[in-house]
Amino acid sequence: MMNLINLAKDLPNVMNFVDNLGYMGVGMLIIIAVIGIIIGATNLLNKFTGGKK
Amino acid sequence: MTALTSWLSTWAERVSGMGPLDWVQTLVMVAIGGLLIFLAIKKDMEPTLLLPMGFGAIIVNLPGVYAPASEHGAFGPLSTLFDAGIANELFPLILFIGIGAMIDFGPLLSNPKLMIFGAAAQFGIFFTFCMASIFFDFNDALSIGVIGAADGPTSIVVAQQLNSKYVGAIMVAAYSYMALVPIIQPPVIKALTTKKERMIRMPYEPKSVSKLTKILFPIIITAVVGIVAPDSVYLVGFLMFGNLIRECGVLNSLSETAQKVLANLITIFLGITISTKMYYADFLRGETLLILGLGLVAFIIDTAGGVLFAKLLNLFTKKKVNPMIGAAGISAFPMSGRVVHKLGLEADNQNFLLMHSMAVNVSGQIASVIAGGIILSFGLGA
């Protein structure tokens, strides 16, 4: 296992994957937050503009 | 005779630099062009784009056509069109007006919480970006990641704005995999769900949505996204402008024009113009194959992200959702929604998921544009 990890470390740029995981986290967080805001706003719209069953 | 000599010398001058390998590569590109046309006509795979791209690929790879010294650009009028409409992102943005005018947000507005699946299915974009960053520099990796948006215009805008060297390969991957959604998604969905889960029924309980909601929705989305991710305001804004034209009720002729004439015109130009990036010397590289592979990864992870998120949600909710609808959160509309509906019927012939899957599919359109904006802000801010 350690050999594999060492091998991976020796490959060029392979650590970029780990370095960029932060972007993945931030990106997904922003999308979910924005969609959350839109869902909330749409629910409010439906409530105040007569959306009913 | 002089004219013939002049023509011969011009042609000979243009092809004189071509070695045997160049001729082989030229033939390969012409064959790829032919393949795209075949897939478009015979297999009905995204014909509106694959056919012009295939035909354009043949044009730009004909021996002697490439003229880098020409004052009109290396590919004459195609280069002019590229500069006029793609280099400045005008074509994809205008196309968004047409797409926005085609989208009915009604089923989504009736059940807004389904939008969350659209967000979850963008995971593949960011995962693929991380994968691509192993092989490519930062901005190229970001552009490759956006293939996972399953959204051609967004892919073009992001790749162009981030000045990616691989616009042609990214375009081909994005549109080819969109066409291949009915082949790519089912095995991934089946691998991640049990038959019992695929049989979960979701009764459709439509709620009436007021006209005011339909009018305010595109405006609110543009404002929210514009504030949070300003770089994506034009992507979202043009999409939502098209939808506002559709929903306002007083611009029916403009809405029809946007949906048909405008979208068709831009699609014609877009497809044939993007082929300028399919010149053999730029396209036939190891990187292209790698990009095609990463594009496939993006679509698979998008699908898996949506399904797994739905399964996770089911752990905490009483009213279970069919986890397959998470897979419809990618932007490939309406293919992805149809795939999920078909798989639902396959598991249980009375399981009608179409309205839910289409609502999620439409939310994928919104989420993919937002994701494109976030990727842009990463690239432009780096």
Q: Is B45 exposed, middle or buried (0-12, 13-18, 19+ CB in 10 A)?
A: buried
Give the gap in angstroms from C-alpha A10 to the nearest C-alpha of chain B.
Answer: 12
Q: Can you give the pTM of this predicted structure?
A: 0.83
Could you read off the pLDDT of B76-119 as tens digits, one per residue?
Answer: 899 999 989 888 889 989 999 999 999 888 888 988 999 999 99
Q: Report yes or no on A44 lying in a domain.
A: yes
Number of neighbours of residue B35 by Cβ within 10 angstroms? 13
Q: Report yes or no on A12 lying in a domain.
A: yes
pLDDT interval class at B134 (50, 70, 90)? very high
| Cβ-defined contact of B212 to A28 (cutoff 8 Å) | no
pLDDT score of A5 more than 90? no
Choose, out of A17, A28, A29, A34, the residue to mutate when testing the contact with B (most B CBs < 10 Å).
A34
Q: Is the ipTM of this complex over 0.90?
A: no
**Percentage of chain B modeled with pLDDT above 90:** 52
- Minimum CA–CA partner of A23 in chain B: B126
Q: How far apart are CA B214 and CA B216, in angstroms?
A: 6
φ, ψ (nearest 5 deg) of residue B41:
-85, -50
> Average of pLDDT values for B138-150?
92
CB B312 within 8 A of CB B297: no
CB B217 within 8 A of CB B105: yes
- What is the pLDDT at residue A8? 59
Q: Which residues contact A41 (CB under 8 A, 6 or more apart)?
A: B220, B224
Residue A38 Cα to chain centre, angstroms: 16
Q: How far apart are CA B54 and CA B172, in angstroms?
A: 10
Asked if B123 has any chain A CB less than 8 Å from its own CB, the reply is: yes
Q: How far apart are CA B100 and CA A30, in angstroms?
A: 23
Q: Which residues contact B113 (CB under 8 A, 6 or more apart)?
A: A39
Residues 168 through 227 of chain B touching chain A, CB cutoff 8 Å: 205, 207-210, 212-213, 216-217, 220-221, 224-225
φ, ψ (nearest 5 deg) of residue B352:
-100, 105
Q: How many helices and strands, by DSSP H and E, does chain A display?
A: 3, 0
Choose, out of B162, B312, B370, B376, the residue to mutate when testing the contact with A (most A CBs < 10 Å).
B370
Nearest to A42 by CA among B330, B364, B218, B205: B218
Could you read off the pLDDT of B332-349 as tens digits, one per residue?
Answer: 888 889 999 999 999 988
**In chain A, which residues have their Cβ closer than 8 Å to the Cβ of B205?**
53
**In chain B, which residues have their Cβ closer than 8 Å to the Cβ of A28?**
119, 122-123, 126
Residue B165 Cα to chain centre, angstroms: 18
CB B158 within 8 A of CB B372: yes
Give the gap in angstroms from C-alpha A37 to the nearest C-alpha of chain B.
Answer: 8
**In chain B, which residues have their Cβ closer than 8 Å to the Cβ of A24?**
126-127, 129-130
**In chain A, which residues have their Cβ closer than 8 Å to the Cβ of B220?**
38, 41-42, 45
> Average of pLDDT values for B320-332?
91
Could you read off the pLDDT of B193-228 as tens digits, one per residue?
Answer: 999 999 999 888 777 888 999 999 999 999 998 888
User: Among B113, B210, B225, whose Cβ lies nearest the Cβ of A49?
Assistant: B210
Q: Report yes or no on A53 lying in a domain.
A: no
Domain around A44: 2-48
pLDDT interval class at A9 (50, 70, 90)? low
- What is the pLDDT at residue A53? 43
Give the gap in angstroms from C-alpha B381 to the nearest C-alpha of chain A.
Answer: 12
Choose, out of A13, A20, A29, A47, the residue to mutate when testing the contact with B (most B CBs < 10 Å).
A20
Length of chain A: 53
Q: Report yes or no on A21 lying in a domain.
A: yes
Nearest to B66 by CA among B369, B277, B214: B277
| Dihedral sign (CA B13, B19, B20, B23) | negative
The number of domains in chain A is: 1
Q: How far apart are CA B184 and CA B192, in angstroms?
A: 13
Q: How far apart, in Å, are the Cα atoms of B205 and each of B208, B350, B354, B356?
A: 10, 16, 13, 10
Please state whether the peptide bond connecting residue B63 to the residue before it is cis, i.e. omega within 30 degrees of 0. no
User: Among B109, B126, B207, whose Cβ lies nearest the Cβ of A24?
Assistant: B126
- Minimum CA–CA partner of B123 in chain A: A28
Q: Which two tokens stand for residue B200?
A: 């979960």
B367 or A11: whose pLDDT is higher?
Answer: B367
Give the gap in angstroms from C-alpha B10 to the nearest C-alpha of chain A.
Answer: 45
Q: Which residues contact B230 (CB under 8 A, 6 or more apart)?
A: B377
**In chain A, which residues have their Cβ closer than 8 Å to the Cβ of B375?**
27
> Average of pLDDT values for B50-59?
91
Give the gap in angstroms from C-alpha A9 to the nearest C-alpha of chain B.
Answer: 12
Interface of A with B (CB under 8 A): 11, 13-14, 16-17, 19-21, 23-24, 27-28, 30-39, 41-43, 45-46, 49-53
CB B221 within 8 A of CB B103: no
